[in-house]
Chains A and B, each alone.
Chain A
Amino acid sequence: MSARANILGKLRNSLAGTTPRPDEFDERLVTEPWRYASENRITRLRSLMEAVQTEVHLCCSDNWPELVAGLLAERGITNLLCAPGKEHGRALQTHFEATEQNVRLMAYDRPVEAWKEELFRNVDASLTGTVGGIAATGTLVLWPDRHEPRLMSLVPPVHIALLKASEIHDNLYDMMVAQDWAAGLPTNVLLVSGPSKTADIEQVLAYGAHGPRELIVLVLEDV
């Protein structure tokens, strides 16, 4: 007998004569305590994210590239991983070229194996989009894809994320339902709620454990 058959057999045997319990999920318990007036969503998300050392900036669809340029200059960062295949990547490129920024824009355009060393050692910052945010927990939701692969939001020490104000949901449950996640998920979905951190030594909070040391969120208020 295979392990599979043995395990399932034992479990079935233990349940003989019983009926499965009915589905007792009560969505009110995960939604009602976590509802916000639309004008409070950004405030809630912002205060929670700032509490875990995330920088949150409010901006618009036409001025964010300028803000990014400023943030990079402040930190002396001269290269940025961003996706030319995405609208926001192109907008950034256009702005940086027009304003002659001294920043090298890099693209994640080959399999990770082809440039692992470079990705880990030479990329100082990345910029990605998000598929939305969650006010209840101060969370960004990322669905990595070909243009913005999984490691783009993890390996570079600084991660800048764009979040459309209209895509901030009250809570995770609402977002799952609104975007019909149960119908099919991409290979990887990430909920990100701050820069990487640990409290494994004496419970002292230290940021920049294995992932980004800094997370910067640009909330686009007009979209």
Chain B
Amino acid sequence: MSRRIPVTELTPDFRGRAEEALADGQLRNNFRVAMDSLMSKRANAFQDADEREGLRELGNRIKAGALSHLPDLLEQLEQTLTANGVKVHWAETLEEANTLVHGIIEARQGRQVVKGKSMVSEEMEMNDYLAERGIECLESDMGEYIVQLDNEKPSHIIMPAIHKNARQVSKLFHDKLGEPETEDVNQLIQVGRRTLRQKFMDADVGVSGVNFAIAETGTLLLVENEGNGRMSTTVPPVHIAVTGIEKVVANLRDVVPLVSLLTRSALGQPITTYVNLISGPRKPDELDGPEEVHLVLLDNGRSGAFADAQMRQTLNCIRCGACMNHCPVYTRVGGHTYGEVYPGPIGKIITPHMAGLDNVPDHPSASSLCGACGDVCPVKIPIPELLQRLRQENVKSPEQPQQVKGGGAKFSRTERWIWRGWQTLNTRPTLYRSFLWAATRFRALSPKKAGPWTENHSAPVPARRSLHDLAAEHLNQKGGRPS
């Protein structure tokens, strides 16, 4: 993906960015504190393990059920939304989606857009696309607003500005808005409130994402705490919702467990302050609400993930962020290190289909496969299993059929030979035992440097005798029967 918004100057590769992030004590502390707090909030919100597991299973089945007839559901959604007066648009690519959005705004001669939080619009880099065409597109979620003001990208899908502390926000507001410096969070929020209220009034168009699109009733459901989502979807005369094709669910009742899973997993809240169900534009006898409501359904690689039954499971995602909150890698390197719209474990498994594995070749490796992400995923996406799958795709040779966009990015003939050698060693018992014999006997000759391992560890020195050796001796003495 092109990166038109200049984020702070970052090195191009994951490891380089990780190194920079790890050296930033402030950043690491900001993330550690925030992730610890989010983890304990989630734990408190799911105190009954049986209830939690039952609900996760239900969430998984609802999403899988929806995906198992996704094309039909999308058509049904289009039909019910259309009947409700919502215009439905389809976009295969980011460019198509941006063109559609721009077209809708142009038709109303819109110049100012105010945006609720939407990760799909981040995929589209909509702010930038519209800015280049003379349209101001302003973020209204407090975190997104802060990030946009600093010319950055979100570092977390739920808490976009979590990498900043109050002092940094204060300085930003001072530099960019001329506000007096204060580390009082309440005062900082009031700055945002004042500025953005004016923008809500002035905006020609409101843009939002969608948490769940309900096919049965033709309804777009949005969750939020701040009220900016309601403002963006209610005050301006036009509302454009942008969402991925995987967000559709069959029935209205499906959102009951899904919303509960979403808000409890994301923030530990039983429910967000607002759940906003939009089923159409303002009716003739109504006094507010947008005159036009549009929904842009975006593919951007999703149908590619869908084509692979194993990777299709990535489309269960309800964007709660719990996987990143619980990820020991994300906690240490922060969201910007991933260099893409979606960071953390979920980013690692969905980005390859959007950007191509060759653009994020280090993503699958950036995991100890500890499994914390899969454990907490509210819709039970087997994230570690999918990371493992992507590692296989990553090292495929060019001669093998590529099943993931940009696969084979990490293919190396040398590495494959090393693993072949490893295979030979471990499938030939005599050879393996000779290796043990040599490694233990000549342990004094073990190299003092063992590649990257010795950056963090002392050089590994084999024991004096192997277990093979000790066990044989022990079992012989015992009169056991070593085979």
Interface, chain A (partner B; CB < 8 A):
2-4, 6-8, 10-15, 18-27, 29-30, 33, 48, 52, 108-113, 116-117, 120, 136-139, 144-146, 149-151, 154, 171-173, 176-177, 181-182, 184-204, 206, 208-212
25 pairs from A and B in contact (CB 8 Å cutoff): A4-B90, A7-B303, A10-B307, A12-B71, A23-B65, A24-B62, A25-B61, A25-B62, A29-B54, A33-B51, A138-B270, A139-B271, A154-B230, A173-B256, A188-B278, A196-B226, A198-B143, A200-B143, A201-B146, A202-B166, A209-B142, A209-B193, A209-B228, A210-B231, A211-B227
Return the chain B residue nearest A174 by Cβ. B256
Query: Which residues of chain B come closer than 8 Å to A195, judged between CB atoms?
Result: 273
Which listed residue (B141, B186, B250, B253) contacts A176, Cβ 8 A? B253
Asked whether B70 is an interface residue with its Cβ less than 8 Å from the other chain, the reply is yes
Ranked 10 nearest A-B pairs via Cβ: A211-B227, A200-B143, A209-B226, A20-B69, A191-B275, A210-B227, A196-B227, A4-B90, A112-B288, A200-B142
Asked whether B185 is an interface residue with its Cβ less than 8 Å from the other chain, the reply is yes
Instruction: Check if B92 sits within 8 Å of A3, measured CB to CB.
Output: yes
A48 to chain B, nearest CB (A): 7
Instruction: Check if B230 sits within 8 Å of A198, measured CB to CB.
Output: no
Which listed residue (B34, B226, B250, B253) contacts A210, Cβ 8 A? B226
Instruction: Check if B299 sits within 8 Å of A211, measured CB to CB.
Output: no
Q: Which of A6, A11, A171, A184 has the most CB of B within 10 A?
A: A11
Q: Which of B279-287, B346-354, B413-421 contacts the other chain? A: B279-287
Q: How far is the CA of A193 from the CA of B231 in the complex (A)?
A: 17
Query: Which residues of chain A come closer than 8 Å to B74, judged between CB atoms?
Result: 7-8, 11
B322 to chain A, nearest CB (A): 15
Q: How far is the CA of A25 from the CA of B250 in the complex (A)?
A: 11
Q: How far is the CA of A35 from the CA of B278 in the complex (A)?
A: 28
Query: Which residues of chain A come closer than 8 Å to B188, judged between CB atoms?
Result: 201, 206
Which listed residue (A110, A113, A184, A197) contacts B226, Cβ 8 A? A197
Instruction: Check if A24 sits within 8 Å of B217, measured CB to CB.
Output: no
Instruction: Check if A190 sits within 8 Å of B189, measured CB to CB.
Output: no
Instruction: Check if B189 sits within 8 Å of A198, measured CB to CB.
Output: yes
**14 more CB-based (< 8 A) A-B contacts, given A7-B90, A177-B253:** A2-B90, A14-B303, A20-B69, A21-B69, A25-B253, A33-B51, A136-B270, A145-B286, A173-B253, A173-B256, A185-B279, A186-B279, A203-B38, A210-B140
